Amino acid sequence: MRSELVPSPKTLITRRRFNGGLLAAAAAGVAPAVLRGQNLNSKLNIAVIGAGGRGAADTDGVISENIVALCDVDEKRLAAAGRRLPKAEKFVDFRKVFDKPDAFDAVVIATCEHTHAMATMLALRNKKHVYCEKPLTHDIWEARQVREEAAKAGVVTQMGIQIHAGDNYRRVVELVQGGAIGPVHEAHVWVSRTWGLQSLESSRRHNDIVFVTARPTMDQKPPATLHWDLWLGPAAERPYSDVYVPGPKWYRWWDFGNGTMSDLGSHWNDLPFWALKLKAPQSVEASGPPVDPDIAPATLTATYQYAARGDMPAVKMVWHQGESKPDLWNDKQIPQWPDGVLFIGAKGMILSNYDKHVLLPEKDFADYVPPPQTYPHSPGHHQEWINACKSGGTTLANFEYGGWLTEANHLGNVAYRVGTKLQWDAESMRAVNTMEADQYIRRPRRKGWEL
C-alpha cells in the first residue's frame, strides 16, 4: 500500500502561491530582488522519474530540494534510491506518480528515450516544472508536441544538455556571434563514439559496449525486479533480452533510442545550434552503412543546409560520427582532436570541444581580444533550472530551444533511414519530396501509451 504524499506547507511552492507573492510584493512596493531571494531560499518538492542509472546523477543535481517521489521500473534500482531518500514515496509506473499532482512542484525525467515524451507531457499538462534528460523525445512529432505544450503550460523547462552550462561553450558562442572569425558559412561536428551496428573489429578497436548484430531470437526471462512491460512503455511488444537493458545498451535500438546521433548529438550539435542561431534546416541528407531495421549505425555522416538567419548567412553543418571525420581533420590541417566542433568563417576558424577552444590559424589571432562576456558563469545546469523554477525565470536550455535541437538531430537519422535528401518543411513537419519519411517522423505507439 502506498502512503499518502503530503508535502509540508512550509516547503510546497505552488504557482498560485508564487504568483500571489509577486502581486503582494508589488502592492507593498517590495523590491523584486528581495522577493527573489526569499523564493530561492525555499525548497521545491520534486518527483524523480527514472531514479536509477542516469537518474541517480540527476538526483544529485537537485538533492538540495525536497525529493518527495521516486519512480523506476526496476525495483532493485528503486530500492537503492529509496535507501538514500527514505521519506520519498516509491512508484514503478510513472503514470501513477501523477495521481497526486498536488504533492510536487517539479519533475525530473531520466527514463529511457522512448518514454521521455509521455512522462514529460503528463508533467506539462499538470503544470509542473520539468527537467528532462536528452534527447528530449524519441521522434520529431513528439518533440513538436512537447515544445508546443511547454509554451502553453507556462512552466520552467530544461533539457539535460549539461555542457550548455559550461564556460567554454559560452565563450565560443560569444566569439562566433561577436564576429571573431567573420560570417560563418560552414560548421563540422565529429564524435568518435561507435555505439551502433558495426563490425566486431571496429567494436574491439573502440573498446565498445557489448557487440550485437541482430535482434535476439531466443526468449529470456526478465530479472524478478524488472517490470518489463512498463520498461517497454509505448514501444512494440517484444520478449525481454539482456541486449536491451540495462543502459546504455538500449541506445543502439531504433525502438528505444536513436544511436549516437540523438545521444551525443544533443551535446555536440548544441554548440553550433546555439552559436549560429539554428532552428529548422531546409534540407538534410545522410550516408552510412546499409540501413538495419533494428539497430542504429555506428558510423554516419549527415549534412544540413540552413537558410540565412538575420545577419548570419546561409550555413552548411555536417555531423560526423564513428569513423567519419571532416576533410580538414583527415588532411591534418587542424589539430587532431578525437571529438570536436569546427566553425569555418570568412576570417578564420574556431575549433572547440567540451572543455577548450582555439582560434585558427593561431598566429593570426595572437593579439586577438575576445568580446565582452554576455553569458554569465553558471551556478550549474541543474541549479539554473531550480533557480528559474523559484524565481519565475527561464533557462537557456528550455524546451523551446531543446525541442528544435531534438527535431534537427532526429532528422539526420530520418534522412539516413530513408536514403534520400530530405527537403524539409518545418511548418507542416514533413519532408515534402518523399512520403517515406513519415513513418520515422511519427512512430507508432502501443495501445495504452498514447501521448
Q: What is the CATH number of the domain that holds 108?
A: 3.40.50.720
Rounded CA separation 330/188 (Å): 13
- Both 156 and 172 in one domain: the answer is no
DSSP helix/strand/coil, 223? coil
The whole-number pLDDT of residue 40 equals: 60
- Both 335 and 189 in one domain: the answer is yes
Least confident of 107-111, 212-216, 282-286: 212-216
- Boundary of a domain, candidates 101, 128, 163: 163
- Both 142 and 259 in one domain: the answer is no
- Both 174 and 130 in one domain: the answer is no
In-domain check, residue 249 = yes
- Boundary of a domain, candidates 147, 163, 179: 163
- Boundary of a domain, candidates 163, 183, 208: 163
pLDDT at 37 > cutoff 60: no
**Residue with cell string 559550461:** 166
Residues whose CB is less than 8 angstroms from the CB of residue 343 and which lie 6 or more positions away in sequence, other chains included: 172, 176, 181, 184, 186, 187, 272, 275, 276, 349, 350, 351, 352
In-domain check, residue 288 = yes
pLDDT at 130 > cutoff 70: yes
The whole-number pLDDT of residue 219 equals: 83
- Both 140 and 199 in one domain: the answer is no
Strand partners, 300: 321
Which has the closest alpha carbon to 166: 359, 341, 340, 377? 377
CB 416 within 8 A of CB 288: yes
pLDDT at 251 > cutoff 50: yes
The whole-number pLDDT of residue 24 equals: 31
Q: What is the mean pLDDT of residues 310-339?
A: 97
Cα 375 from chain centroid (whole Å)? 21
The confidence band for 32, taking pLDDT boundaries of 50, 70 and 90, is very low
In-domain check, residue 5 = no
Q: Which domain holds residue 143?
A: 15-163
- Both 23 and 36 in one domain: the answer is yes
Least confident of 3-7, 180-184, 270-274, 407-411: 3-7
Return mean pLDDT, the chain. Answer: 89
Which has the closest alpha carbon to 347: 172, 185, 188? 185
Express as a percent the part of the chain with pLDDT over 90: 82
- Per-residue model confidence as pLDDT tens digits over 343-378: 999 999 999 999 999 999 999 999 999 999 999 999
- Both 335 and 367 in one domain: the answer is yes
pLDDT at 243 > cutoff 80: yes
pLDDT at 26 > cutoff 70: no
In-domain check, residue 405 = yes
The whole-number pLDDT of residue 198 equals: 60
- Both 139 and 22 in one domain: the answer is yes
Q: What is the mean pLDDT of residues 219-238?
A: 96
- Both 128 and 223 in one domain: the answer is no
- Per-residue model confidence as pLDDT tens digits over 71-106: 999 999 999 999 999 999 999 999 999 999 999 999
In-domain check, residue 241 = yes
Q: What is the mean pLDDT of residues 397-412?
A: 98
Rounded CA separation 391/39 (Å): 6
In-domain check, residue 448 = no
The whole-number pLDDT of residue 217 equals: 83
- Both 352 and 430 in one domain: the answer is yes
For residue 231, the domain's CATH number is 3.30.360.10
In-domain check, residue 3 = no
- Both 366 and 400 in one domain: the answer is yes
- Per-residue model confidence as pLDDT tens digits over 170-220: 999 999 999 999 999 999 999 998 777 764 444 444 454 445 667 888 889
Contacts of range 251-254, beta carbons closer than 8 Å, 24 or more positions apart: 251/113, 251/195, 251/296, 252/195, 252/196, 252/197, 252/212, 252/295, 252/296, 253/294, 253/295, 253/296, 254/293, 254/294, 254/295, 254/296
In-domain check, residue 185 = yes
The whole-number pLDDT of residue 211 equals: 55
Please give the tally of structural domains in the chain: 2
- Both 158 and 190 in one domain: the answer is no
pLDDT at 8 > cutoff 70: no
